Amino acid sequence: MSANPREARVVQAVHGRSRKPADPAYQAGLAEELRQSYGRAGLIELYGRFATGDGVVDSLMRKAIWQAITRRCGEGLQVASGAGFKHPETFEIGDGVFIGAQAYIQGRYDGTCVIGDNVWIGPMAYFDARDLVIEDSVGWGPGAKVLGSTHTALPIDVPIIRTDLEIRPVRICAEADIGTNATILPGVTIGKGAIVGAGAVVVSDVEPFSVAAGVPAKFIRWRSENDPMTNMSREGRS
Protein backbone atom coordinates (compact mmCIF):
# COMPACT_ATOMS: atom_id res chain seq x y z
CA MET A 1 0.00 0.00 0.00
CA SER A 2 1.41 3.41 -0.93
CA ALA A 3 1.95 6.05 1.69
CA ASN A 4 -0.59 8.82 1.99
CA PRO A 5 0.97 11.74 0.04
CA ARG A 6 -0.51 14.22 2.54
CA GLU A 7 1.01 12.47 5.52
CA ALA A 8 4.03 14.14 7.12
CA ARG A 9 7.24 12.13 7.24
CA VAL A 10 10.45 12.51 9.19
CA VAL A 11 13.82 12.06 7.51
CA GLN A 12 17.28 12.42 8.91
CA ALA A 13 18.96 15.80 8.45
CA VAL A 14 22.36 15.92 6.79
CA HIS A 15 24.05 19.20 7.64
CA GLY A 16 26.08 19.19 10.84
CA ARG A 17 25.28 15.59 11.86
CA SER A 18 28.60 14.17 10.82
CA ARG A 19 32.06 15.55 10.29
CA LYS A 20 32.71 16.21 6.66
CA PRO A 21 35.91 14.90 5.04
CA ALA A 22 38.84 17.26 5.46
CA ASP A 23 39.64 19.54 2.58
CA PRO A 24 42.36 18.13 0.32
CA ALA A 25 45.82 19.50 1.02
CA TYR A 26 46.07 21.06 -2.41
CA GLN A 27 43.08 23.29 -1.62
CA ALA A 28 44.96 25.11 1.12
CA GLY A 29 47.92 25.46 -1.23
CA LEU A 30 45.65 26.81 -3.95
CA ALA A 31 44.16 29.36 -1.55
CA GLU A 32 47.61 30.52 -0.49
CA GLU A 33 48.79 30.78 -4.10
CA LEU A 34 45.70 32.82 -5.00
CA ARG A 35 46.27 35.10 -2.02
CA GLN A 36 49.87 35.72 -3.02
CA SER A 37 49.19 36.13 -6.72
CA TYR A 38 46.02 38.21 -6.87
CA GLY A 39 45.59 40.28 -3.73
CA ARG A 40 42.17 41.31 -2.47
CA ALA A 41 41.01 43.33 -5.49
CA GLY A 42 42.22 40.67 -7.90
CA LEU A 43 40.50 37.91 -5.95
CA ILE A 44 37.18 39.73 -6.06
CA GLU A 45 37.50 40.08 -9.83
CA LEU A 46 38.55 36.44 -10.16
CA TYR A 47 35.58 35.32 -8.07
CA GLY A 48 33.26 36.72 -10.72
CA ARG A 49 34.52 34.16 -13.21
CA PHE A 50 33.46 31.25 -11.01
CA ALA A 51 30.53 32.75 -9.10
CA THR A 52 27.64 31.20 -11.00
CA GLY A 53 28.81 27.83 -12.30
CA ASP A 54 27.78 24.51 -10.76
CA GLY A 55 30.71 22.41 -11.94
CA VAL A 56 33.47 20.91 -9.83
CA VAL A 57 36.02 23.52 -10.85
CA ASP A 58 33.65 26.42 -10.17
CA SER A 59 32.82 25.03 -6.74
CA LEU A 60 36.48 24.47 -5.89
CA MET A 61 37.49 27.94 -6.99
CA ARG A 62 34.71 29.57 -4.96
CA LYS A 63 35.89 27.75 -1.85
CA ALA A 64 39.55 28.52 -2.46
CA ILE A 65 38.87 32.20 -3.11
CA TRP A 66 36.75 32.55 0.06
CA GLN A 67 39.56 30.86 2.00
CA ALA A 68 42.10 33.19 0.45
CA ILE A 69 40.22 36.43 0.96
CA THR A 70 38.53 36.09 4.36
CA ARG A 71 40.19 36.91 7.67
CA ARG A 72 39.75 33.29 8.75
CA CYS A 73 38.01 30.34 7.11
CA GLY A 74 37.68 26.79 8.43
CA GLU A 75 37.44 23.50 6.55
CA GLY A 76 34.45 22.04 4.76
CA LEU A 77 33.08 25.33 3.43
CA GLN A 78 30.44 24.98 0.71
CA VAL A 79 29.51 28.02 -1.38
CA ALA A 80 26.64 27.52 -3.82
CA SER A 81 26.36 29.30 -7.17
CA GLY A 82 25.67 33.01 -7.20
CA ALA A 83 26.65 33.61 -3.58
CA GLY A 84 28.27 37.03 -3.19
CA PHE A 85 30.01 39.23 -0.69
CA LYS A 86 31.30 42.69 0.10
CA HIS A 87 34.37 43.28 2.27
CA PRO A 88 35.05 39.56 2.82
CA GLU A 89 38.34 40.52 4.48
CA THR A 90 36.27 41.20 7.62
CA PHE A 91 34.73 37.68 7.67
CA GLU A 92 35.64 34.90 10.10
CA ILE A 93 34.05 31.60 9.04
CA GLY A 94 34.07 28.35 11.00
CA ASP A 95 34.17 24.71 9.92
CA GLY A 96 31.41 23.00 7.96
CA VAL A 97 29.56 26.15 6.86
CA PHE A 98 27.11 26.02 3.95
CA ILE A 99 26.22 29.21 2.06
CA GLY A 100 23.23 28.80 -0.26
CA ALA A 101 22.71 29.94 -3.82
CA GLN A 102 22.46 33.70 -4.36
CA ALA A 103 22.99 34.46 -0.69
CA TYR A 104 24.74 37.80 -0.12
CA ILE A 105 26.86 38.89 2.83
CA GLN A 106 27.56 42.63 2.93
CA GLY A 107 30.36 43.49 5.29
CA ARG A 108 31.95 46.88 5.94
CA TYR A 109 35.63 47.77 5.73
CA ASP A 110 35.80 48.44 9.48
CA GLY A 111 33.23 45.85 10.50
CA THR A 112 33.14 42.32 11.86
CA CYS A 113 31.28 39.30 10.54
CA VAL A 114 31.68 36.05 12.47
CA ILE A 115 29.98 32.83 11.32
CA GLY A 116 30.44 29.81 13.60
CA ASP A 117 30.85 26.11 12.92
CA ASN A 118 28.18 24.08 11.11
CA VAL A 119 26.01 27.06 10.18
CA TRP A 120 23.56 26.43 7.33
CA ILE A 121 22.53 29.49 5.29
CA GLY A 122 19.65 29.09 2.86
CA PRO A 123 19.48 30.46 -0.69
CA MET A 124 18.80 34.15 -1.27
CA ALA A 125 19.59 35.05 2.33
CA TYR A 126 20.89 38.59 2.94
CA PHE A 127 23.16 39.79 5.72
CA ASP A 128 23.99 43.39 6.60
CA ALA A 129 27.13 42.08 8.24
CA ARG A 130 28.82 45.23 9.50
CA ASP A 131 28.63 44.01 13.11
CA LEU A 132 27.25 40.47 13.03
CA VAL A 133 27.87 37.27 14.98
CA ILE A 134 26.21 33.98 14.06
CA GLU A 135 27.21 31.31 16.55
CA ASP A 136 27.56 27.55 15.96
CA SER A 137 24.90 25.30 14.42
CA VAL A 138 22.45 28.03 13.40
CA GLY A 139 19.93 27.21 10.67
CA TRP A 140 19.10 30.18 8.45
CA GLY A 141 16.00 29.85 6.27
CA PRO A 142 15.86 30.78 2.58
CA GLY A 143 15.39 34.49 2.02
CA ALA A 144 15.83 35.43 5.68
CA LYS A 145 17.62 38.72 6.31
CA VAL A 146 19.65 40.68 8.83
CA LEU A 147 19.49 44.47 8.81
CA GLY A 148 22.30 45.78 10.96
CA SER A 149 22.05 49.51 10.39
CA THR A 150 19.61 52.37 9.92
CA HIS A 151 19.84 56.02 9.01
CA THR A 152 19.27 58.43 11.88
CA ALA A 153 16.81 60.38 9.68
CA LEU A 154 17.95 63.57 11.46
CA PRO A 155 17.92 66.42 10.88
CA ILE A 156 14.55 66.19 9.14
CA ASP A 157 15.39 68.81 6.50
CA VAL A 158 18.06 66.49 5.07
CA PRO A 159 17.15 63.58 2.81
CA ILE A 160 17.18 60.45 4.98
CA ILE A 161 19.66 58.71 2.73
CA ARG A 162 22.19 61.46 3.50
CA THR A 163 21.84 61.25 7.27
CA ASP A 164 24.27 59.33 9.47
CA LEU A 165 24.20 55.56 9.56
CA GLU A 166 23.77 53.92 12.94
CA ILE A 167 25.24 50.43 13.09
CA ARG A 168 23.97 48.16 15.87
CA PRO A 169 25.30 44.65 16.50
CA VAL A 170 23.16 41.62 15.71
CA ARG A 171 23.88 38.32 17.44
CA ILE A 172 22.30 34.97 16.57
CA CYS A 173 23.17 32.59 19.39
CA ALA A 174 24.05 28.93 18.94
CA GLU A 175 21.50 26.42 17.69
CA ALA A 176 18.86 29.03 16.86
CA ASP A 177 16.67 28.49 13.83
CA ILE A 178 15.53 31.42 11.64
CA GLY A 179 12.48 30.82 9.47
CA THR A 180 12.10 31.47 5.76
CA ASN A 181 11.91 35.16 4.84
CA ALA A 182 12.21 36.34 8.45
CA THR A 183 13.90 39.71 9.02
CA ILE A 184 16.11 40.50 12.01
CA LEU A 185 16.40 44.25 12.71
CA PRO A 186 19.44 46.15 14.09
CA GLY A 187 20.52 45.53 17.67
CA VAL A 188 18.58 42.27 18.10
CA THR A 189 19.92 39.16 19.85
CA ILE A 190 18.28 35.82 19.12
CA GLY A 191 18.81 33.57 22.13
CA LYS A 192 20.34 30.11 22.11
CA GLY A 193 18.07 27.48 20.66
CA ALA A 194 15.29 29.94 19.84
CA ILE A 195 13.00 29.56 16.85
CA VAL A 196 11.92 32.53 14.70
CA GLY A 197 8.88 31.82 12.56
CA ALA A 198 8.70 32.23 8.80
CA GLY A 199 8.13 35.81 7.69
CA ALA A 200 8.61 37.25 11.17
CA VAL A 201 10.01 40.76 11.62
CA VAL A 202 12.07 40.68 14.81
CA VAL A 203 12.41 44.09 16.46
CA SER A 204 13.52 43.03 19.96
CA ASP A 205 15.52 40.25 21.62
CA VAL A 206 14.18 36.69 21.57
CA GLU A 207 14.62 34.60 24.71
CA PRO A 208 16.64 31.37 24.58
CA PHE A 209 14.63 28.25 23.73
CA SER A 210 11.52 30.27 22.94
CA VAL A 211 9.41 30.50 19.78
CA ALA A 212 8.67 33.96 18.33
CA ALA A 213 6.62 34.79 15.23
CA GLY A 214 4.58 37.52 13.56
CA VAL A 215 5.00 41.15 12.51
CA PRO A 216 6.36 42.46 14.76
CA ALA A 217 7.52 39.15 16.22
CA LYS A 218 6.12 38.25 19.62
CA PHE A 219 6.74 35.47 22.09
CA ILE A 220 4.52 32.51 21.20
CA ARG A 221 5.64 29.78 23.60
CA TRP A 222 8.60 28.00 25.06
CA ARG A 223 9.97 25.07 23.14
CA SER A 224 8.85 21.67 24.33
CA GLU A 225 9.50 18.07 23.43
CA ASN A 226 6.15 17.71 21.62
CA ASP A 227 6.21 20.99 19.73
CA PRO A 228 6.31 20.33 15.94
CA MET A 229 8.45 23.46 15.42
CA THR A 230 10.85 22.22 18.08
CA ASN A 231 11.09 18.81 16.49
CA MET A 232 11.73 20.34 13.07
CA SER A 233 14.54 22.49 14.45
CA ARG A 234 16.08 19.62 16.43
CA GLU A 235 16.38 17.51 13.31
CA GLY A 236 18.37 20.29 11.67
CA ARG A 237 18.41 21.13 8.00
CA SER A 238 19.11 18.78 5.18
The pLDDT tens digits for 102-137 are: 999 999 999 999 999 999 999 999 999 999 999 999
CB-based contacts of 238, cutoff 8 Å, min separation 6: 11, 13, 14, 15
Residue 167: pLDDT band by 50, 70, 90 thresholds?
very high
pTM over 0.75: yes
The pLDDT tens digits for 88-102 are: 999 999 999 999 999
Residue 238: pLDDT band by 50, 70, 90 thresholds?
very low
- Alpha-carbon dihedral 15, 132, 130, 127, rounded to 10 degrees: 40
The pLDDT tens digits for 52-98 are: 998 999 999 999 999 999 999 999 999 999 999 999 999 999 999 99
Q: Identify the weakest region by mean pLDDT among 12-26, 49-63, 215-229.
A: 12-26
In whole angstroms, what is the distance from residue 206 CA to residue 212 CA?
Answer: 7
Q: Which helix (H) or strand (E) holds 221?
A: strand 218-222
Residues that are catalytic: 151
Q: Give pLDDT, residue 22.
A: 81
Q: Give pLDDT, residue 234.
A: 52
In whole angstroms, what is the distance from residue 150 CA to residue 164 CA?
Answer: 8
